[in-house]
Amino acid sequence: MRRLPAFILALLAALQVPPALAAPEELTGQVVGITDGDTLTLLTPDRRQTKVRLAEIDTPERRQPYGSRARAALADLAFQRRVRVVVEDIDRYGRSVGHVYAGGRDVNAEMVRRGAAWVYDRYNHDPKLPVLEAEARAARRGLWALPEAERLPPWEWRRRAKAERDAEPGQRRAAPG
């Protein structure tokens, strides 16, 4: 009987469990940093720092109205707390993208409930998040209390900022001297 090469055996083994049925990766650890309203740094038990982007939500950028308050809301929910992260993906920046749980609280959903985050419709698969966003809007919680002109979704704000940068060719910053 002929033996199959190891890589073919590995490939066949990998095909036995469809990715959709595979258990999602989970991380645990203590939150040691808050970058902005939807990104934190997790220190795992093996002393590895991992950047985590909260899945299915988007918060105002730091220089955008409500950006610093969204960061403060995430800090209130997660900073220096032990959390569990159910990882859904790794983004193009190498961050783990997932749902963060502090105790029994779904941090992603709580950010939306508090009005500190938009539901990122493009990536959302959680039917409760749009309901929480509608409730926050109706109650004018968080960013929904801002004047309408200041409530620009972050994905649109980033697109406008990029368009403005691209419209200024040759406007490079001088190197520090």
Q: What does the pLDDT read at residue 177?
A: 45
Q: Indicate if 140 belongs to the active site.
A: no
Helix residue spans in the chain (DSSP H) = 6-16, 67-78, 107-113, 128-139, 154-166
Residue 105 pLDDT greater than 90, yes or no: yes
% of the chain exceeding 70 in pLDDT: 82
User: How large is the average pLDDT for residues 77-89?
Assistant: 97
* Verdict on whether the full-model pTM lies above 0.85: no
Q: Indicate if 122 belongs to the active site.
A: no
Q: What does the pLDDT read at residue 38?
A: 97
Q: Indicate if 25 belongs to the active site.
A: no
Judge contact between 59 and 107, C-beta under 8 A.
no
Write down the mean pLDDT value for the chain.
88
Which of 61, 113, 114, 133 is an active site residue?
61
Which of 95, 110, 114, 133 is an active site residue?
95
Which of the pair, 162 or 64, is modelled with greater confidence?
A: 64
Which of the pair, 69 or 12, is modelled with greater confidence?
A: 69
